[in-house]
């Protein structure tokens, strides 16, 4: 099993460009999350999806949109990238019934906006 | 809002020795979960240990154990017999009521295990 996969692993954008970060999981988990990690800091929640068909804002949602395409996939879109969005982005999943609160993370996407 | 504070930005320990990483948190909830995650240079976030607030017994996982002081809102991680592979960033995290929807992370402690 691959667990949680993210594409791409690295990306460089120019200010104003758009892109979509992809996340897929084969763990059959209901909940999925997008975080960003800035240098020297912990992860901050951008958006989450408690179940297929639902999405909610986290701590830092401005400048991002998400789509929960199906149970397996959760994408994060930057419509007009800004240098402040340079960060490492992590996707995560969880299944609160079996293991409440525990989250499983993908390998991350390093995004640089010039 | 919940906050999680890790007051030690960096720590080092000799191989085979014991080290303790500190974490404090602020909450008005009575039931919640606490976690320690490890992030090695590969960037992968790995769960080290979890603690349920309603359980008084401190969690242990092999060489890793916690000292959970609910009244003091303190949650420290003890690593015994430190190994070179323990070198990583360690993040303390809080989850309200096990809902799994809003993990709040501390700023992290960079641990270096020296040979």
Which residues in chain A come in under a pLDDT of 50? none
How far does B90 lie from chain A, in Å, by closest CA?
9
Cβ atoms of A95 and A25 closer than 8 Å: no
CA terminus-to-terminus distance, chain B: 41
Tokens 């490492």: give the residue: A88
How far does A95 lie from chain B, in Å, by closest CA?
8
Q: Among partner residues A31, A105, A108, which is closest to B101 by beta-carbon distance?
A: A31
Sign of CA dihedral B101, A83, A21, B108: negative
Mean pLDDT to the nearest integer, B2-6: 87
**Chain B: residue nearest A35 by CA?**
B103
Q: What is the pLDDT of residue A95?
A: 82
Cβ atoms of A93 and A103 closer than 8 Å: yes
Closest by CA to A90, choosing from A17, A5, A29, is A5
Q: What is the pLDDT of residue A40?
A: 78
Q: What is the pLDDT of residue B48?
A: 95
How far does A82 lie from chain B, in Å, by closest CA?
23
Is residue A97 less than 8 Å (CB to CB) from chain B? Answer: no
Q: What is the pLDDT of residue B99?
A: 59
| Residue numbers in A near B108 (CB within 8 A) | 40-42
Quote the Cα angle for A37-B59-B12, to 5°.
Answer: 55
Q: What is the pLDDT of residue A98?
A: 66
pLDDT, one tens digit per residue, over A74-92 is 999 999 999 999 999 999 9
Tokens 């501390």: give the residue: B106
Question: Tokens in use for A75?
Answer: 């994408």
C-alpha separations of A5 from A55, A72, A73, B44, B99 in Å: 20, 10, 10, 11, 23
**Spatial separation of the C-alpha atoms in residues A98 and A85, rounded to whole Å:** 34
Is residue A42 less than 8 Å (CB to CB) from chain B? Answer: yes
**Spatial separation of the C-alpha atoms in residues A43 and B108, rounded to whole Å:** 9
pLDDT, one tens digit per residue, over B40-75 is 988 888 999 999 888 889 999 999 999 999 999 999
pLDDT, one tens digit per residue, over B84-98 is 999 999 999 998 755
Compute the half-sphere exposure of residue B38: CA atoms within 13 Å on the CB side of its CA.
17
Q: What is the pLDDT of residue B98?
A: 57
| B contact residues 42-101, partner A, Cβ 8 Å cutoff | 42-47, 50, 52, 91, 93, 95, 98-101
Residue B101 has pLDDT above 70, yes or no: no
């Amino acid at each position: 099993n691959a667990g949680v996969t993210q594409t791409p692993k690295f990306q460089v954008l120019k200010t104003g460009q758009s892109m979509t970060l992809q996340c897929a999981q084969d763990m059959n988990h209901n909940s999925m999350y997008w975080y960003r990690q800035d240098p020297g800091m912990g992860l901050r929640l951008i958006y989450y999806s408690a179940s297929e068909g639902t999405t909610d804002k986290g701590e830092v949602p401005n400048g991002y949109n998400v789509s929960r395409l199906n149970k397996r996939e959760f994408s994060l879109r930057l419509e007009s990238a800004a240098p402040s969005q340079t960060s490492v982005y992590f996707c995560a999943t969880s299944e609160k019934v079996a293991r409440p609160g525990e989250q499983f993370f993908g390998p991350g996407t390093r995004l640089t906006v010039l | 809002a919940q906050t999680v504070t890790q007051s030690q930005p960096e720590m080092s320990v000799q191989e085979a020795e014991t080290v303790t990483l500190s974490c404090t948190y602020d909450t008005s909830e009575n039931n919640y979960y606490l976690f320690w995650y490890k992030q090695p240079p590969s960037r992968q976030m790995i769960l080290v240990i979890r603690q349920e607030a309603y359980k008084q017994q401190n969690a242990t996982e092999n060489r890793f154990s916690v000292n959970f002081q609910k009244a003091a809102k303190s949650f420290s991680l003890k690593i015994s017999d430190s190994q070179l592979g323990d070198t990583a960033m360690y993040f303390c995290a809080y989850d309200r009521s096990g809902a799994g929807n809003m993990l709040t992370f501390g700023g992290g402690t960079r641990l270096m295990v020296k040979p």
